[in-house]
Chains A and B, each alone.
Chain A
Amino acid sequence: MSWKTGTYSGWGRIKSATGELARPERASALAHVAAEGPAIGNRRSYGDACLVSDHRAIDMSRMDKILSFDEASAILHVEAGVPIGELARIFAPRGFLPAVMPGTGFATVGGCIAMDVHGKNHHGAGSFGQHVTEITLASGKVLTPGMELFRATVGGLGQTGPIQSAKLQMLRGKVDVMMVTERRADDLDSFLTLLDDSTATYTVGWIDATATGAALGRGILEEGETGAGLVPPAKRGRRVPLNAPGWALSAPIVRAFNQLYFRRVPAKGRTLVKPIDDFFFPLDRIHDWNKLYGKKGFHQFQCVVPVGERGCIRAMLNAIATSGLASPLAVLKRMGEGRAGCMSFPMEGYTLAVDFRNRPGTRGLITELIAECRAAGGRIYFAKDSVARAADMSGMYPEQADWAALVNATDPDHRYETDLTKRLDLRSTSK
């Protein structure tokens, strides 16, 4: 089987790895390489979760077949490399939607399982792994919910070995469009209250991370429901051809943009009909949008803190707004308690996600935010992080040591470690 040495990076383009990669296209080829290193998907993780320096890794992006679909039970069996957005595109017109979808359709099913991703419906539907009915590892092991190894694999950062295929319980219902209501929230408290009180199936809050003073935490709540009807014509994707210059996302420009973006929604709110992709994957229309941040790349910070910790969110937003480092991309959401793995990110609370340009001061700011999050009893998301140190982890993931013990038993040679698990010492059992 062919291995090739390459240099590749995570979505934020801050971290990169040089190592050997194989990219099998069929089951027989995967079987040859599966024991050699961890699987990686479409590298939509921002930091180093999808990087393996100086070792072998298996690029799963060509293992992307749809294996079977049973309409009666709505269970779909797919290879792990298939992108989740493709499943939405193919099955939505036939009346089925993946039960949970992250904010990018390019994430593969394997990546969605290994991060136990959440979507805009997390408060109701729970996490991705809660809708997985079976996982087949490349080693041939078949895992079902209730098994210890299943809980170690979902949200398991690839540490139990490559996932070859999985069965997903699809959501039933004809979905052609999304009915979206947008409402303005003038400050943080009214925003959080809107989020608490929302009864919509899908919700997401855009937050103006540059607003300060009385406007701190203002933003727009988007609530969505699936609908059937006329489909607006799909627009063609665009591509960002070059790295943007450094000033493109500088503080004054972001402030001005956010101002306009906020005012775009009338004070009394409005309701729109959107294509499915525009609602679920708003950024995917612009391919390679990560280049907008220029050559230096960017960070995303995402944490979740318990519902009682509004003060923590306020303190974080204060630090962010005064730093001048925030980008227009900032999201606030109410999260439910649904999670399916030992190392899953979700917990009941508020989750805040903010993109930052990579500038002097960014790492310091994120380190500060991580400390605030930990003090509030929250946790940070492995799919986004590239700043935390091993010491920051203590207490965030209570099942980590047990998980590590189980994983170490199935992978005693630590072949499936990634740069992230090494950096955060996640396979250590002494915590």
Chain B
Amino acid sequence: MTQETWILLGATSSMARAMARQLAGEGANLVLAGRDMADLEALAADCTLRGAATSVATKFDARDAATFAPVIERAEELAGDEALCAAVFVGSMPPQDAIDADPSLIDGTVTDSFTGPARFLQMLAPALEAREKGLVIGVGSVAGDRGRIGNYVYGAAKSGFATYLSGLRNRLGRKGVHVMTVKPGFVDTAMTWDVEGMFLVASPDQVAAHMLKAGRKGRNVLYTPFFWRYIMSIIRAVPEPIFKKLSV
């Protein structure tokens, strides 16, 4: 395999860290982007010691578009003419009752989970098209498949992001760049640590490995672990008159 350069947006998240380490083991270049610079610096050192060719920490804040261009510049520099890839893990999920109390939280949630990353990818797209290769992995959520009482704002944002990714796939596919949408089920991350009622929980390592493998094979939409595809097709099939009374 030729050397790949990967941008990981939201690199301090559990799934991103797992993916960064797998890519490090392959000897990739890594641009680790996020808000907690101290943690990103530590992760960059960790990835270098685990085999990454180069691993750098850069600031990325979905709510501050001024941080976007420098991330792209850094990645283009490292990639040269070789493949440039990106994986987007950013998103935020305030509890629904917090949103009920303060509806303005919707703006931030939508920026973190949808419009911020979408704007970033829109800026990145020309660089990917120019190389005529590469892979974009966008992490959506099963929560985006149907609006549910518990987290419909987050779900709506992720659903918007999924629609955006499907359009981006349509566009970049013409130039040999593949875009995969991922919908993880329950994953054992810092974000879900104290969430109750989770079942069949997957580890970040498993999910990251599954994402890389499927993305490279050209999968368009990936449910991970795989059985979420069946769970979600059942949930989607419930007629709305019944669904609106459920609290799943």
Does A261 touch B at the CB level, under 8 Å? no
For window 163-205 of B, CB contacts with A under 8 Å fall at 190, 193-194
Counting chain A CB atoms within 10 Å of each CB, which of B12, B17, B38, B49 scores highest?
A: B49
Give min CB distance, A58 to chain B, whole Å.
Answer: 12
With A2-B193, A2-B194, A3-B194 as known contacts, state yes or no: A68 contacts B45, CB within 8 Å: yes
Give min CB distance, A60 to chain B, whole Å.
Answer: 14
Does B145 touch A at the CB level, under 8 Å? no
The 4 closest A-B pairs by CB, nearest first: A2-B194, A65-B46, A26-B39, A4-B194
Complexed CA–CA distance, A25 and B13 (Å): 9
Contacting pair A28 B39 (CB below 8 A): yes
Contacts of A68 in B (CB 8 A): 45, 49
Q: List the A residue with the shortest CB-CB distance to B193.
A: A2
Give min CB distance, B96 to chain A, whole Å.
Answer: 17
Does B141 touch A at the CB level, under 8 Å? no
Contacting pair B190 A67 (CB below 8 A): no
Q: Chain B: interface secondary structure?
A: helix
With A62-B14, A66-B49, A69-B49 as known contacts, state yes or no: A27 contacts B42, CB within 8 Å: yes
Q: List the A residue with the shortest CB-CB distance to B204.
A: A62
Count of A residues near B, CB < 8 Å?
A: 19
Contacting pair A65 B14 (CB below 8 A): no
Complexed CA–CA distance, A65 and B38 (Å): 13
User: What are some 20 contacts across the A-B interface (CB < 8 A)?
Assistant: A2-B193, A22-B193, A23-B193, A25-B14, A25-B190, A26-B38, A26-B42, A27-B38, A28-B39, A29-B190, A62-B14, A65-B42, A65-B46, A66-B45, A66-B46, A66-B49, A67-B45, A68-B45, A79-B42, A90-B49
Residues of A within 8 A of B (CB): 2-4, 22-29, 62, 65-69, 79, 90
Complexed CA–CA distance, A221 and B232 (Å): 56
Give min CB distance, A160 to chain B, whole Å.
Answer: 23
Counting chain A CB atoms within 10 Å of each CB, which of B39, B45, B190 scores highest?
A: B190
What number of residue pairs across chains A and B have CB atoms under 8 A from each other? 45
Contacting pair A65 B45 (CB below 8 A): yes
Contacting pair A67 B42 (CB below 8 A): yes
Contacting pair A90 B39 (CB below 8 A): no
Complexed CA–CA distance, A62 and B46 (Å): 13
Contacting pair A27 B39 (CB below 8 A): yes
Give min CB distance, B222 to chain A, whole Å.
Answer: 24
Size category of the binding interface on chain B: 10 to 19
Give min CB distance, A267 to chain B, whole Å.
Answer: 45
Complexed CA–CA distance, A66 and B24 (Å): 13
Give min CB distance, B8 to chain A, whole Å.
Answer: 15
Contacts of B63 in A (CB 8 A): none
Contacts of B193 in A (CB 8 A): 2, 4, 22-23
With A2-B193, A23-B190 as known contacts, state yes or no: A28 contacts B36, CB within 8 Å: yes
Give min CB distance, B35 to chain A, whole Å.
Answer: 11
Using A22-B193, A25-B14 as known contacts, list a sample of 5 further A-B pairs with CB atoms less than 8 Å apart, ordered by residue number in A. A24-B190, A25-B190, A26-B42, A28-B39, A62-B14
Q: List the A residue with the shortest CB-CB distance to B38.
A: A27
Contacts of B36 in A (CB 8 A): 26, 28
Q: List the A residue with the shortest CB-CB distance to B50.
A: A90
Complexed CA–CA distance, A28 and B42 (Å): 12
For window 42-80 of B, CB contacts with A under 8 Å fall at 42-43, 45-46, 49-50
Complexed CA–CA distance, A66 and B38 (Å): 14
Contacts of B194 in A (CB 8 A): 2-4
Q: List the B residue with the shortest CB-CB distance to A59.
A: B193
Counting chain B CB atoms within 10 Å of each CB, which of A4, A22, A25, A29 scores highest?
A: A25
Complexed CA–CA distance, A23 and B39 (Å): 16
Contacts of B45 in A (CB 8 A): 65-68
Complexed CA–CA distance, A79 and B46 (Å): 10
With A65-B43, A90-B49 as known contacts, state yes or no: A28 contacts B190, CB within 8 Å: no
